Amino acid sequence: MSTRTVLHDADIARALTRIAHEILEANKGPDGLVLLGIPTRGVTLARRLGELIERFGGRHVPVGSLDVTMYRDDLARHPTRSPRPTEIPDDGIDGRTVVLVDDVLFSGRSIRAALDALNDIGRPAAVRLAILVDRGHRELPIRPDFVGKNLPSSRAERVNVHLAEVDGDERVSIEDAG
């Protein structure tokens, strides 16, 4: 197997800065925003985006996490995962613009599960999707609103996102299943 790095720490930082600006522009400021990261790395990315949005928009934006494990439709095909806590900000999501944040968008099934989970929690005014890496191969009609990097890949390849807070290093790599 060979692995090649396609994004380094500076590339990830630039992508998140651009996404934060795009979120602020699309929302016309930070008012009414809530960021919900999908565990594991989506939560870290949501926190980083929250800090950037606060810096650029001048106001704190609530950040939480949304575990989608029990809403997935592919549990039988994947190894059992331990659910992570869902943490919704104190003000909730009703009537707010929720930005779901994840590291890699592939088939769209995690996002479909996130929409189902969100439905059980409340009724946001709008739901947007911010993704660090969009690798294509959608199985469902899901499209991100904010993308750090479009990274065409084959189904046989694996895209790995490493974040310092979780993995101790910072990079995005593609692993060939050779």
Q: Which domains does the chain have, with CATH numbers?
A: 8-74+84-155 (3.40.50.2020)
Look at residue 175 in the predicted model and tell me its pLDDT: 94
Helix, strand, coil percentages (3-state) for the chain, rounded to 5, are 30, 25, 40
Which residue would you say has higher pLDDT here, 91 or 73?
Answer: 91
Please check whether residue 84 is in contact with residue 75, taking contact to mean a CB–CB distance below 8 angstroms.
Answer: no
Please list, in sequence order, all residues whose beta carbon lies within 8 angstroms of the beta carbon of residue 46, skipping any fewer than 6 positions away: 35, 36, 37, 63, 64, 65, 99, 101
pLDDT classification of 87: cutoffs 50, 70, 90:
very high
**Mean pLDDT calculated for residue range 58-75:** 90
**Mean pLDDT calculated for residue range 148-171:** 95
Look at residue 79 in the predicted model and tell me its pLDDT: 61
User: Nearest Cα to 66, choosing from 97, 95, 98?
Assistant: 98
H or E element in which residue 23 lies:
helix 9-27
Could you tell me what percent of the chain has a pLDDT over 90?
A: 84
Name the token pair of 9.
């720490």
Which residue would you say has higher pLDDT here, 177 or 40?
Answer: 40
pLDDT classification of 170: cutoffs 50, 70, 90:
very high
Look at residue 84 in the predicted model and tell me its pLDDT: 78
For 93-142, the pLDDT digits (tens) are: 999 999 999 999 999 999 999 999 999 999 999 999 999 999 999 999 99
Could you tell me what percent of the chain has a pLDDT over 70?
A: 95
